[in-house]
Amino acid sequence: MANELIVSVSGIRGIIGAGLSPASALAFAQALGTYLNGGPVVLSRDSRPSGLMLRHAVIAGLASCGCEIHDLGIAPTPTVGLAVRKLEAAGAIQITASHNPAPWNGLKLFGSDGAVLSAAKGLQIKQIFDANAFALASHDKLGGVRECQQALDWHRERVLQLVDVPRIRSANFRVLLDANGGAGGTLGTALLEGLCRACPVVQGGQPDGVFAHAPEPLAENLTAILPLVPQHQASVGFVLDPDADRLALIDEQGRYIGEELTLALAVRCRLKQERGPIVINMSSSRVSEDIAKQFGVECQRAAVGEANVVEKMRAVGALMGGEGNGGVIDPRVGWVRDPYIGMALVLQLLADTGKTLSQLVAELPRYAIVKDKYTVARELLPRLNAALEARWPAAKPNRLDGLRLDWPDRWVHVRPSNTEPIVRVIAEAPREADAQALCKDVGNLLHAMG
């Protein structure tokens, strides 16, 4: 896998010098340019040094199809979505490998609505890429490049419009931000300076691509960051991934609150302000579902994947949506997972309630999530799903995305990977031992099937 270029309906990714090359980036940019009929395109990248090399390839590919390119430079992924709409572009490319380790990079594609492309549209671009069927412009119709330096300001101003800034500032919060050398530090610092009187304590704020710890914002990667929150007497710690579309939380005691509860707290804040449907993915914690029930609104589930959540949000007119990986999607800002509105809503909730983050978390329903994976041939999946339903006839099945089985206080979700011959098994229950038992039962059934 390491030497392969992973091509999917979401874009491409791979290891620099192995799977991912300038030639593949150029061709994929030409595929998007062809699909967009040479329309204007927003271009951005996260802070990985390899992004500069890929930027040149992407510019060449887009320009060769006649696309006018609005170059944001280094910017967070949600900022790209907002800039697409502001600039009335036909689409966008974000050069990023998200939370993958430093050797990785990739291209993420957006449509004219500022959302990540749907699977159906992504498949059309993949087909153009696979067929090398590019619509190249003549010498007098090539695209050019324009720098756009206002996008971070647009994003900051929009978020500040959506919360009670005087109330948050009057609470005198001190906040720690860990951007880990990623794309999100500049905007994160500027936003927090607008929301808090005290200057934020910033770790890895320079977008230089130097990751002080493994880039995914998980507890095991943040052992050096967690104690900094109480050391600096901060009310909350915010942690971003390299392209800044995920937000993990640390409470005032230095405890990892994680990503699953980021969405739940943002949902609670929004539902206190306004009522409306909530959409989460099939593998997200039921805490958000419980909160929606408390406020008397519907919570619907979508297939895993940002584009799937957005599609469902539009279909039901959702007030808010997101995924349990710290991805808050607020349509008032855009159709992309956005940690900046997430930060603002968490601070709004702290200011409105006068409670600490640990107190707010203690009030939430408590569940434990366990995630596992098993190697399995795809042709065995129908048999596995039938065996699971037979094993638990009392559970409510949902076949939207693999198989999810629900009980009143727990669930298990079994879904095939899009890129590997494995199934991912996620279970949630009030006790960790119960969630582990659900995952283990799935493994035992697989073993029995040979």
Ordered strands of the 278-281 beta sheet: 299-302, 278-281, 320-323, 327-329
Cα Rg of the chain, angstroms: 22
Q: DSSP letter for 16, please.
A: B
User: How many CA atoms lie within 13 Å of 191's alpha carbon, on the beta-carbon side?
Assistant: 31
User: Which ranges of 50-92 would DSSP assign to H, the alpha helix?
Assistant: 50-64, 77-86
Q: CA dist 389 to 285, 392, 421, Å?
A: 21, 5, 22
Ordered strands of the 41-45 beta sheet: 6-8, 11-15, 104-110, 91-95, 41-45, 69-74, 145-147
Buried-exposed string 371-381: b where 16+ CB fall within 10 A, e elsewhere: ebebebeeeeb
Residue listed under structure tokens 């412009």: 137
93: which 2 tokens?
């490319």
44: which 2 tokens?
């951005």
Of 44, 98, 285, 288, which is the active-site residue? 98
Annotated active-site residue 98? The verdict is yes
Question: Cβ atoms within 10 A of the Cβ of 29, count?
Answer: 30
Instruction: Please report, as a single letter, which amino acid is at residue 61.
Output: G
187: which 2 tokens?
């905007």
Question: Cβ atoms within 10 A of the Cβ of 158, count?
Answer: 18
Instruction: Please report, as a single letter, which amino acid is at residue 89.
Output: A
Question: Cβ atoms within 10 A of the Cβ of 331, count?
Answer: 15
Give the active site residues: 98
